[in-house]
Amino acid sequence: MTAVLAVASEAFPLIKTGGLADVVGALPAALARQGVAVRTLLPGYPAVMAALHDGEAFFRFDDLFGGPATLIAGEAKGLDVIAIDAPHLYARPGSPYVGPDGRDWPDNGFRFAALGKVAAEIGRGAAGLPAPDVVHLHDWQAGLAPAYLAYGPGPRPKTVATIHNIAFQGWFPSTLLGALGLPDHALTIDGVEYFGGIGFLKAALKFADRITTVSPTYAAEILEPEGGVGLEGLLSARAADVVGILNGIDVEVWNPETDVDLPAPFSAQTPGGRAASRGALLARFGLAPAAGLIFGVISRLSSQKGLDLLADAIPTLLDLGGSLALVGSGEPALEARFRDLAARHAGRIGVFIGYDERLAHLVQAGSDAILVPSRFEPCGLTQLCALRYGALPVVSRVGGLADTVIDANPMALAAGVATGVQFNPVSRSALETALRRTALLYADGRAWAQCQANAMRADVSWDASAKAYAELYASLAR
């Protein structure tokens, strides 16, 4: 059995701010079915430590960037977890990344260097555990792990770095180099240096044995200047080591047949229960009963997600007889804009600023269509959940959205394979055209029902992707 140490800053259901947590939390169970044993290394945030109350301490650092730390191992909510119990770094309320003022914690460089440092120690078998075959690090927060392995003593396990969103790179000033325990010669273009500072994600992409990202299309996009966000040169030089493996979702958590957050279960064969969810959604968001489409949004409110384009396109959505139920938070200007739209169009637009897991399930089950108009999207999980629940995704043709939704064009409709609506380019006018196409499809009840059935039958599980990861690990272990 291949042994893998997964290294990440969050994992559902222990701690979650976004899709990274869903991936890190769901992948181990799928990999276990492929003969891969995964232990997940996480910072010891209060929520993680509370879930690991029966864990066992097995290793101590006298000084881990400013204070002592203990490694605690155990099972927490179905995950095999190692937590870094370092109160001086992680015992803080709220977000893992930002303080109550909404700004990054000023010591984030040390907080996440500690994650990489501990991963490296476990990886080389120097922390009281057998060395894993592979260390699999996720995003910039774990990015220094392969650098610590490269510049440190002893054996080095194979490493895989997964990019969940290349726009978040983890840059810190070069003055931290010595304090982070990295040698002077690491601060070069062939080391961790990035735009005059220390690049955590750059380090991962430089030193990891293999690089994955979360969809094949995104793997191609990040090799180009527009998609690579400054790292395209390094990635192009390592193109032979870059592979796109689609994300999946936990189909037990996201299962309309067993979802306790819904008023009634339903399936592709017996979709009648969607009507109950539709009614509950209308009531929850204060929307007036109507025959038109209910569009749902579950998203971070940001320009990356294209939510400014949606706000611009609201007149078209309303002219088509549609309603909108939105769950999300993010850029203050967009939050304010959608609050204002809801106030001006009461009964047609309902907004919940924030995130609520149960409400997200209801939006998926009660909406007719889910809007994902992202300017770029590494993979996206919202559209995968939408497929599972029969809410047709209306998506921009980028990244993983292009790879997971089959556009309802005439050929796809004739072949009986369409599962949603795609649009390109990512602009207001293209989105408005997509809204009109969706309304026309909805008016054709038979075609709409066929697309819903196709969507709900789509394989959005981790099975195929877990097999691809298992084969990647095995090739490295050999």
At residue 155 the predicted structure's pLDDT band, cuts being 50, 70 and 90, is confident
At residue 454 the predicted structure's pLDDT band, cuts being 50, 70 and 90, is very high
Mean model confidence pLDDT for the chain: 96
Beta bridge partners of 300: 329
**Residue 390 φ/ψ region, left for φ over 0, alpha for ψ in the -120 to 50 degree band, beta for the rest:** left
Residue 431's pLDDT is what? 98
Residue 274's pLDDT is what? 94
Residue 64's pLDDT is what? 98
Is the predicted pLDDT of residue 440 greater than 90, yes or no? Answer: yes
Mean pLDDT of 322-338: 97
Mean pLDDT of 96-100: 94
Q: Among 153-157, 175-179, 262-266, which stretch is predicted with the lowest mean pLDDT?
A: 153-157
According to the annotation, is 202 in a ligand binding site?
no
Cα angle: 246, vertex 382, 254; to 5 degrees? 90
**Residue 347 φ/ψ region, left for φ over 0, alpha for ψ in the -120 to 50 degree band, beta for the rest:** left
At residue 183 the predicted structure's pLDDT band, cuts being 50, 70 and 90, is very high
Residue 92's pLDDT is what? 94
Mean pLDDT of 68-96: 96
Separation of alpha carbons 432 and 371, rounded Å: 12
Beta bridge partners of 242: 211
CB 157 within 8 Å of CB 132:
yes
CB 437 within 8 Å of CB 457:
no
Q: pLDDT above 90 covers what percent of the chain?
A: 94
At residue 414 the predicted structure's pLDDT band, cuts being 50, 70 and 90, is very high
Interval 66-80: pLDDT, tens:
999 999 999 999 999
Is the predicted pLDDT of residue 154 greater than 90, yes or no? Answer: no
Mean pLDDT of 254-274: 93
Residue 391's pLDDT is what? 98
At residue 60 the predicted structure's pLDDT band, cuts being 50, 70 and 90, is very high
Interval 105-130: pLDDT, tens:
999 999 999 999 999 999 999 888 99
Token pair 């392995």 is found at 149
CB 214 within 8 Å of CB 395:
no
Closest CA to 66 of 47, 90, 102, 49: 90
Domains of the chain in sequence order: 2-248+463-477 (3.40.50.2000), 271-457 (3.40.50.2000)
At residue 467 the predicted structure's pLDDT band, cuts being 50, 70 and 90, is very high
- Please list, in sequence order, all residues whose beta carbon lies within 8 angstroms of the beta carbon of residue 319, skipping any fewer than 6 positions away: none
At residue 478 the predicted structure's pLDDT band, cuts being 50, 70 and 90, is confident
Residue 271's pLDDT is what? 85
Token pair 């460089």 is found at 109
Q: pLDDT above 70 covers what percent of the chain?
A: 100
Whole-model pTM: value is 0.94
Residue 110's pLDDT is what? 98
